[in-house]
Structure 1
Amino acid sequence: MDRAQKIITQFGPNGRRSMLDAQELCARLDAARQTLPHPFEAERVRIVASVADAISRHKGELSPAIRYLGFWTRAAALKLLERSFAATIPPHTLRRPRGMTFHLPPRNVETIFLYSWILSFLAGNANIVRLPQEVSGTVGWVLDLFLAALDASSERSQLFVHYPLDTDLSGLISAHSDARMVWGGDAKVGAFERLPLRNGGKSLWFGDRSSLCLLDGAAVGALGPAEREALAQKFFNDVFVFDQMACSSPQALYVVGTPTAHLEGVRNLLAAIGHVATAKGAIGAAGHQIAKMTAAFSAAASGDVIDLSWRGTELTTVVSGVAERVDRRIGGGFLSVVFLPDLAALNGVLRERDQTITHFGFSEDAIRLAAARNLGPGVSRWTPVGSALDFDSVWDGYDILSELTRACRVG
C-alpha cells in the first residue's frame, strides 16, 4: 500500500480536520499508551462531567438519546460508577488501564461510540475511535464538546479518526492496540477477529443481537387510560428511537396469558403506542412502509396469524396464534405478538443471540426467578419497559470497565 492510501483524517475541535499518514499515526499510538493515569483520574472525570453539564443546559433542545447520555455522565452518576467499579476490585489488587483501546462503533446507533469511548477514557486508557467521515447533528455537537475539552486540558492520548475500510489500516491499528471494541454485527466481528492485537490484547465483540419484550397480559388489561398512555410513551422510546434497529430494541412482544382473555387489552395498548408514534411524527420512508406491509402479509400467509393491524403508517403488528418463537427483524415500527401460557414457557423461545428482555407487569421476584431459570447462553439484560436503550457499563455480558483494565496483584 502506498503512502497516499494511508491518509487518515483526525477530528479536532471546532470542526478542524488534520491529516495523518500511517507512520505518524502508529508513532502517536505507541507514545499515547506509555504514560496513563489510574482509572477515574480526577481530570478525566471533570472532562466527562463538563460535557454532561453542557448537555443539561440545552436538554430542552436535544433528543432523548442525548439527554440520557447527559444524565448518565453527570458528576453524581460518575461517582456512583466509580464506587461500583471499586467494589469489584479484589483485596491486594490494583486496577490499571490496558493501554490503547481501538473502538469500531456501529452505523445504526450513532451514540454508541460516545459510551464506548467514555468508559475506556474513564478506565484510564489511550483511545482511537474510527468514526464516519462526517458526524453531524447533536452527536457531532457533543463530540465537539469533548474534543474542545480534551484540547483545553492538553490531552493528547485520545484520537478520533476516519479512514477508508478498504485498506490495511484496521490491521495496522489493531497491531498497535491493547484492546479492541467491535460493534456492529457478526460480519463486522468476523472481519476483525483475524486481525491480531498486541501480545496479551483483548477484544470485546458486540455481534448480531435480538431483543424482546415480556408482558403480563392481566396487568396490561387492567390498565386505565392514563396508565396505558404512560406505558405507550415508554414503548415509543424502546421501539422508535434508532428506528427499532438497536440491538436492544424489542422486535416481539411475548404476552403471558391467552388471546381469549388478554388480546383486547394488548390491542388497546398497541393502539395507544400507534397514537403516540403518530403524535411524535414517527413516519418511516415509503419503502420501509411497504416492507412492513409485505412482512405482515407474508406472516398472515403462514396461517398462524390471528390478528394483523396497521396503526397508521407508524406501527404494524402481527399476532400469532401459536406459542412459538417468532423472528422478524423488520424495524421502523413492526411488532410480532406471541401469547405464552406462563412465565416458565419463555425459556422455550429464548435463543443464544437474545440480548435484552424488557418487561412490564411482573413482580421483581418473578423477574429474578425467570432470569435464574435461563441457564443457557443468551440474554444478558432484563430491564423495565422504557429503558431498552439506556446504556450501562455492564453490556452484552461484559463488565466493560473491568474488561478495559488489567489486574495488578500487590502482596
Structure 2
Amino acid sequence: MTPTKDNIKYSTIAPSDGNVDKVFKSKILKPFDNIAIDFISELSNKILKNNNLKEFPELVSMAFWMRKSHILSLKKEFFNKKKERVWLARGTAFHIAPSNVDTIFIYSWFLSFLVGNKNIIRVSQNNNEQLDILLELINKQSSENKFQQIQDRFLIITYEHNNQITEFFSKNCDIRVIWGGDNTINQIRSIAIKPTAIELSFADKFSIAIINSKEILNKLDNDELFKNFYNDSFWFDQQACSSPKLVCWVGNDSDIIKAKKIFWNGVSKVYDEKFDEFSSTRAVDKMVATYSLAIEKDNIFIDKNPLIQTVQLDNHNSIARDLHCGAGLFYELKLKNLDELNEFIIKKDQTIGVYGFDKKTVANFVSDNLPQGIDRIVSIGRMMDFSYVWDGHDLLREFCREINIDI
C-alpha cells in the first residue's frame, strides 16, 4: 500500500497544531530572512534565561551558538561565499535525528531553516528532561502571532521505526538528512526519495584527543584542560561522534608516564564533582567491551577503575573502533610525533582534539600527510562545538540549490 498522509500515524510534537499540508504548501523563504533570525535568536535568549536548563551545559552551548551575533556572522559568511550567484532553498527538508544526541536536530533544522527551507524533523521517542523543556519552549514561541510564518513551515514529529511513515516523508522531501548509526543509515537508504531530491547522511564516527605530554608537565595549572576534556567526553556520555574515545600521548616514555598521571587524576576529580549518572549498566557495557578487546587483541593493559577506564594499547593495530561503548572508556596510545597518526587514520575518524600543538604544526601535519580521514581539528574543549561545516559538508551550501543565470 502506498503511504499517504491519511493512512500513516505519527505524533506531532511541535507546533502543537502543526499540519503537514501547511508545510508542503508553504513557500520557501529567502536565505537569512529576518523572521528566521528573530525566531532563532529569541529562542536562544529564552533558553539562556531558563533556570531549569542551566544544569544542561549542552543546551547552554547550543543556545550560545544560536545567539543573534553568531547567526549574523553565519549570514555574512554565506553571502561572502555566494557573491553574485543565486542560491535558494531546496524546498522541504526531512531530518531524521539520532537517538543518542537528540538535540542535534536543532542545528540541522536551523541551518536548513536559515537558508529558507521548510522542515520536517523526526525525533526519537526516547524522552529526557532537557528535550521536553526545549520542545515546550519551541511550541510556545512558535504559537506567537508574530511567528505565524514559522509555524507553517516546520513540523517536529515522532513515531516508532516504521518504513511506511519514513517513505511518505522521504518521497515528499527535496533533501533528506539522516543522523544516525551505520545500520540506521543503510536501512533508511533502502527507502527511496524522489528523483529530484538529494540526501545527506552522517554515520558512526570516531574521534581522537592528542596531547603533548611535555605541555602538561610545563604548566603549573592544568585545571582548564581537565574541565574541557570532561565536557568533550561526558556531555553525551561519549555517545556523540565528536567525543574523544582514543587519547594519543605524544612525547618520550618518561614524560608520558608523568603527564598521564597528572591528567587522569585531574579529569577524575572533575568527574567526581560533576557526573551523577553512574549506573551498573554502564559498568557492564565497559566490562563487555574491555573483555572483548582482550580476546581480540594482544598486548593491551586494562585499568580497573570502573568510572573512568583506560585501555593502554601496544600499537595502533589494537584500536577497535567498533567495540568502543562510550560510558567513560578511553583507549590510549603512545606516539613519538604527530606524523605517526597517519599510520592509522581512516575514513571513520571525524574529529581530532589537540592540546599543546600550535595551528602551524597541525596544518603542516595535514598538508604533509594528506590523511584519508578526519573532518575537523580543534582544541580540546571545542570537540563538541557544532559548525556549519560538518563531516566535510558545508551545510549552509548543501541546503541550497543554485540557479545558474548565464545571459
Structure 1 length normalisation: TM-score?
Answer: 0.90
CA gap of 1:248–1:295, structure 2 versus 1, over 3 A, is same
The residue type paired with residue 71 of structure 2 is L
Contact 1:232 1:272 survives alignment (8 Å): yes
1:231-277 Cα deviation digits (max 9, x unpaired): 11111011111111111111111111233332121122012111211
CA shift in 2, pair 1:140/1:368, >3 Å = same
CA contact (8 A) 1:221 1:266 kept: no
Q: 1:257 aligns with which of 251, 255, 267?
A: 251
The aligned counterpart of 1:172 is 168
* Residue in 2 that maps onto 1:269: 263
2:69 is aligned, of 76, 80, 91, to 76
In 1, the alpha carbon distance for the partners of 2:353 and 2:404 equals: 39
CA contact (8 A) 1:101 1:178 kept: yes
1:120 aligns with 2:112: yes
Residue 298 of structure 1 and its aligned partner are, at CA, apart by: 5.4
Residue 102 of structure 2 is aligned to residue 110 of structure 1: yes
Change beyond 3 A, Cα 1:138–1:299? closer
Displacement of 1:372 after TM fit? 2.3
Letter of the 2:259 counterpart: G
Of the candidates 304, 310, 316, which is equivalent to residue 309 of structure 2? 316
Secondary structure of the 1:371 match is helix
Change (3 A) 1:404 1:250: same
Aligned residue type for 2:210? L
Indicate the residue corresponding to 2:197 in structure 1.
201
Matches within 5 A, 1:5-404: 6-12=8-14, 16=16, 25=20, 27-32=21-26, 35-58=27-50, 61-89=54-82, 91-133=83-125, 135-152=127-144, 153-155=147-149, 156-224=152-220, 226-227=221-222, 229-296=223-290, 299=293, 302-305=297-300, 307-311=301-305, 313-324=306-317, 326-327=319-320, 328-404=323-399
Structure 1 residues not aligned, in runs of 5+? none
Tell me by how many angstroms 1:310 deviates: 3.9
Q: Secondary structure at the match of 1:88?
A: helix
Query: What secondary structure does 1:168 align onto?
Result: helix
Write the distance in 2 (CA, Å) between the matches of 1:130 and 1:299.
35
SS class of match (1:177): coil
Question: AA paired with 1:346?
Answer: L
CA distance in 1, matches of 2:24, 2:298: 61
- d(CA) in 1 for partners of 2:118, 2:270: 43
Distance 1:213 1:343 in 2: 12
Distance 1:310 1:157, change over 3 A: same
**Normalized against structure 2, the TM-score is what?**
0.90
Report the secondary structure of 2:29's partner residue: coil
Question: Is the Cα contact below 8 Å between 1:66 and 1:139 reproduced in 2?
Answer: no
| CA gap 1:129/1:294 in 2 versus in 1, 3 angstroms | closer
Tell me by how many angstroms 1:84 deviates: 1.1
Shift of 1:297: 5.2
Does the aligned pair in 2 maintain the 1:240–1:282 contact within 8 Å? no
- 8 Å CA contact 1:92–1:409 kept in 2: the answer is no
Per-residue deviation, 1:29: 4.6
Answer yes or no: is the 8 Å Cα contact 1:178–1:198 preserved in 2: yes
Q: How far apart, in 1, do the equivalents of 2:134 and 2:277 lie?
A: 26
User: 1:308: how far off?
Assistant: 3.9
Aligned-residue Cα RMSD (Å) equals: 2.2
Which runs of 5 or more structure 2 residues have no equivalent in the other structure? none
Question: How much has 1:323 moved relative to structure 2?
Answer: 5.0
Change (3 A) 1:204 1:298: closer
Change (3 A) 1:136 1:5: farther
Q: What is the count of residue pairs matched by the alignment?
A: 396
Q: Distance in 1 between matches of 2:203 and 2:68?
A: 31
Q: Say if 1:296 and 1:316, in contact at 8 Å, map to a contact too.
A: no
| Cα distance change on mapping 1:124 and 1:374 into 2, 3 Å | farther
Given that 1:129 and 1:160 are in contact with CA atoms closer than 8 Å, whether structure 2 keeps it comes out as: yes
Change (3 A) 1:12 1:245: closer
Q: 2-side partners of 1:100 and 1:295: how far apart?
A: 41
For 1:222 and 1:254, locate their aligned partners in 2 and report how far apart those are by CA, in whole Å. Answer: 18
